[in-house]
Structure 1
Amino acid sequence: MLSRREPACACRVCGVSGWSSGCAWVLVAASQLARDKRRPPSRGRGIALGRRARRACLACAPQSPRVVRQRLGCSHPCRRPWSAASATTHGALAGPDERFAVAPMLDVTNHHFRALCRILSKRAVLYTEMIVDNTLIYNQDKPVMMERWLAHDAVQHPIVLQLGGADPDKLAEAARLAAAFRYDAINLNCGCPSPRVAGKGCFGASLMLDAQNVARCCRRMAEATEHTVPVTVKCRIGVDRADETYDFVRDFVRVVHEQGGVRVFAIHARAAWLNGLSPAQNRNIPPLKYEYVSRLADEFPDCTFVLNGGIKSIDDACEVLEKERQRAESQTSTEAGSAASGGRFHGVMLGRAVQNDPWGILSQVDKRLYGDEASGTHLQTREQVVLEYGRYAQRVMDTEPTASLHHVLGPVLDIFHGAPRGRIFRRTVDSAIKDKLNATDALHAALAEIDERVRCASYDEMLVQRQLAGAERSNMSAQPPSSSSKRPRTAPTDVPSATLQIQST
């Protein structure tokens, strides 16, 4: 029982507590209020909390249609007032600007990884892990589970939810449940080659074999959200070797676009070979065909295409987009006055490269791809990123005692990818977790193992350091070995003289 005399509950996300904080909220299951048959208490009155109640301030509260928010006290206007109307009109805005997107990755792009990504880039579009439609449908009466799968912080926008499934009715119900969480778009997975998804699950990449069904799924999802949340598709250029042709992917895009109303396609420029290759092999072995995506952009100029696959660094991303821009401009100039002039793909999507080197890629996205230097993310040092993420991790551990510290700190382990003593940083974090240190102390101990010139260098300074180190290594290899380095072999002084005479004879 909470009363006016007791301290207010602490927000489970940001840790704000106290009645004077201005935005202390309590989340109570709607079914519990129905049993109580009374109105939510006003300021100063107590409220009985169930075992599954969740606490959060207004700025961090997850948006759920089955959760009732009750303001216990507010001394200033709330920053993000929630209402059913705002939940349904949020998606009426245009879809996110996907010049750069972090690809959905199972067991990777969770809440904590997205928190790190947003520290590194304010403009990159973030995707969630794929959530199967049945997961949301079977848990819709469990607010805690819905929060676990769909809740996200306000700072993570722009964010896209990826759904998996093949049944139009189930996907429509899942989209309806997710719409109240105010995602910037909902994406249908038509590209995952995993046997559990495309094989036994009969969705993912195998959906490309039935474009009519994909169009029905997308149309029903848009209708379920009252056309307020953009529905997008992530797919491949083909399925198996027999369908690895441009005509196949062109016909798929045409059907989904014309009959399903989809205008945004994120395309992995490889075919999905479902027989004989693992998901990891499907990311590398099938040949890349960027020209297919370029031809799609020419043939469907009113659609937005995001290129995925084979891009390993921020330099690769800029180079690919620049080549595509030059190609589109040259084609437009040669076809001046012709109605057949096309477009170009809009952006790029990276997955494993961001997972392996988050700072080296995301810290440069705002400046180099969006032309936004005001965010200042390109000037962040790795030490600043680690310390800010450490504060986030500590808030999570303080408000969720059952959370795994290893799971929370997992995304930041590769922040020193390719840097000297980067592996020492990882091992120190692991050792600190085993020694039961808190998140802040664990990261401080790991930072102490990294040279100050490395951890306090911005991205541009890091490039200069690498150039100097490379020049020094090349100079050392070019120098001939000095004569002083070749010392004559001498007999050890502790060997008996008789032994020396035997060796000489």
Structure 2
Amino acid sequence: MQIPVKLAASWIDAGKSIGKSTCPMARPKISVAPMLAYTDSHCRYFLRLLTPGALLYSEMITAAAIVRGDAQRLLAFDPAEHPLALQLGGCDARELAQAARIGEQFGYDEINLNCGCPSDRVRSGRFGACLMSQPALVADCIQAMREAVDIPVTVKCRTGIDPMPADAADEYGFLTRFIHRVAQSGCDVFVVHARRAVLGGLSPKQNREIPPLQYDVVERLRADFPALTLILNGGVRTLQAVREHLRVFDGVMIGREAYQNPYLMAQLHQAVCDPQWTAPSREQVIEQFVPYVQARLKEGHRLSGMIRHIQGLYAGLPRARSWRRFLVEQAARPAADTDVLVDSLRIVRAAA
């Protein structure tokens, strides 16, 4: 079954100028983490205006939702979003393989299995971080997906889980057993969030903040598994930190900082990917976002659902709070359109 990506021509036209990656690496060294309720298609299009080369990820989507639900609604994206990975949640090898195949047909560049989400809802479905205690099952899922698609199949995990299974001798041994077994299935790319996942007692937000960062553990993995591609995730917020981590790891994944301070992505592309590339100004980014917003408004999407993703663009700069307030208040008006974006620029221009 061939599933087309049905996109309005105006979306494609709006994205032609930004859909070409200038990053010379076969696999981008910079990526943006899959973030539930954040990295939707609107967000990814906006981020692509800031970074021609970073690998972007979808929100986690369950394999069951894709196979049994409205795949077109869940998976459609703008061509400008490439390179783009689809993150899947699930633990049924056959269903994951079917969802991966559908994702490939939609045009995604990579399939990633979520073995790191600690939320109770995800855990009750037997996927996410709790899968780290079942490396053989994960290996079966990876093998099934690899046999179903021709694009890379990767894993995102934590450094461990708390509580650990009773048969785990020690935390690092638990982690290496997982990595080794899954790698045997043919997976050679692991994105490692450098924190253990506390299963129960902490919210997903707390699980991103309370468990201590364990960069040393991931560095130890780097030494013990030199043939694998290891991408570091967790707590990376500055250009300097990215540079330091890239001395050790094959790539760095940026999480909440890419959302709260998205202009960092432009700075990273210039510094890490292409020093000859000229980063657009923040004002230019807004102006380039307007045609996309216009096209989506015509299709019935809400303005507030799009501009919520851009509110960190002026983070740390004068008048940023006033600019955000203007966007939120004006976007709530019934007849609000892209004039809100254009008019907002007078606030930040006044601060220049």
- The two structures share one fold, judged by TM-score above 0.5: yes
Q: Secondary structure at the match of 2:154?
A: strand
Deviation, structure 1 residue 128: 0.4
For 2:46, the aligned partner's letter is: L
Q: CA deviation at 1:436?
A: 3.8
Name the structure 1 match of 2:282.
382
Distance 1:437 1:375, change over 3 A: farther
Which of 94, 97, 101 is matched with 1:169 structurally?
94
1:114 lines up with 2:34 in the alignment: no
Cα distance, 1:284 vs. partner?
Answer: 1.1
Cα displacement string for residues 89-110 of structure 1 (whole angstroms, at most 9, x for unaligned residues): xxxxxx9513111000001000
The answer to whether 1:223 aligns with 2:223 is: no
Q: What is residue 261 of structure 2 aligned with on the other side? A: 357
Q: Can you list the C-alpha shifts for 1:376-415, whole angstroms capped at 9, x where unaligned? A: 22xx2111111111222112112x0x21111021111221
The 2-side partners of 1:158 and 1:110 are apart by: 14
Structure 2 contact 10–295 (Cα < 8 Å) conserved: no
Deviations 1:419-478 (A, max 9, x none): 122111111112222334543210122111124454xxxxxxxxxxxxxxxxxxxxxxxx
Q: CA deviation at 1:241?
A: 4.8
Cα pair distance change 1:406/1:416, threshold 3 Å: same
How far did residue 147 of structure 1 move?
A: 2.1
Percent sequence identity over matched residues? 40
- The counterpart of 2:171, out of the listed 217, 223, 245, is 245
Select the residue among 291, 296, 319 that pairs with 2:244: 319
Change (3 A) 1:59 1:414: closer
* Aligned-partner Cα distance in 1 for 2:82–2:217: 30
Q: Quick check: 1:241–1:271 contact (8 Å CA) kept in 2?
A: no
The CA deviation at 1:275 is 2.2
Partner of 1:204: 128
Residues 164 and 397 (structure 1), Cα distance of their counterparts in 2 relative to 1, 3 Å cut: same
What's the TM-score once normalised by structure 2's chain length? Answer: 0.90
Q: Is the counterpart of residue 425 in structure 1 residue 351 in structure 2?
A: no
**Could you tell me how far apart the structure 2 residues matched to 1:220 and 1:196 are?**
25
Q: Which has the higher contact order (CA 8 A, sep 6+)?
A: 2
| Alignment partner of 1:184 out of 109, 116, 121 | 109
Change (3 A) 1:440 1:57: closer
Deviates more, 1:95-104 or 1:280-289: 95-104
Which amino acid letter does the alignment assign opposite residue 183 of structure 2? H
Count of residue correspondences: 335
For 1:404, the equivalent position in structure 2 comes to 302
| Distance 1:280-1:147 versus aligned 2 partners, 3 A rule | same
User: C-alpha separation between the residues in 2 aligned to 1:121 and 1:417?
Assistant: 17
Task: Rate the CA distance shift 1:96–1:277 in 2: closer, same or farther, 3 A.
Answer: farther
Gaps of 5+ in 2: 14-24
Q: Which deviates the most, 127-136 or 149-158?
A: 149-158
Post-superposition shift, 1:299?
Answer: 1.5
> What is the CA–CA distance in structure 2 between the aligned matches of 1:410 and 1:241, rounded to whole Å?
36
In structure 1, stretches of 5+ residues that fail to align are 1-28, 31-52, 62-94, 140-144, 326-343, 455-505
Q: Secondary structure of 2:348's partner?
A: coil
* Residues 18-41 of structure 1, C-alpha deviations (whole Å, 9 max, x = no match): xxxxxxxxxxx99xxxxxxxxxxx
**Mapped contact 1:191–1:268 kept (Cα < 8 A):** yes
CA drift at 1:180: 0.7
Q: Which has the larger radius of gyration?
A: 1
CA–CA distance in 1 between the matches of 2:81 and 2:331?
27
Other-structure match for 2:271: 368
User: Cα offset for 1:374?
Assistant: 4.0
Mapping for residues 222-301 of structure 1, pairs under 5 Å: 222-225=146-149, 228-242=150-164, 245-258=171-184, 260-301=185-226
Give the secondary-structure state (helix, strand or coil) at the position aligned to 1:364: helix
- Letter paired with 2:153: V
Partner SS, residue 39 of structure 2: coil
Which amino acid counterpart does residue 394 of structure 1 have in structure 2? Q
Do 1:112 and 1:408's aligned partners in 2 also have CA atoms closer than 8 Å?
yes
Give the C-alpha shift of residue 250 in structure 1.
0.9
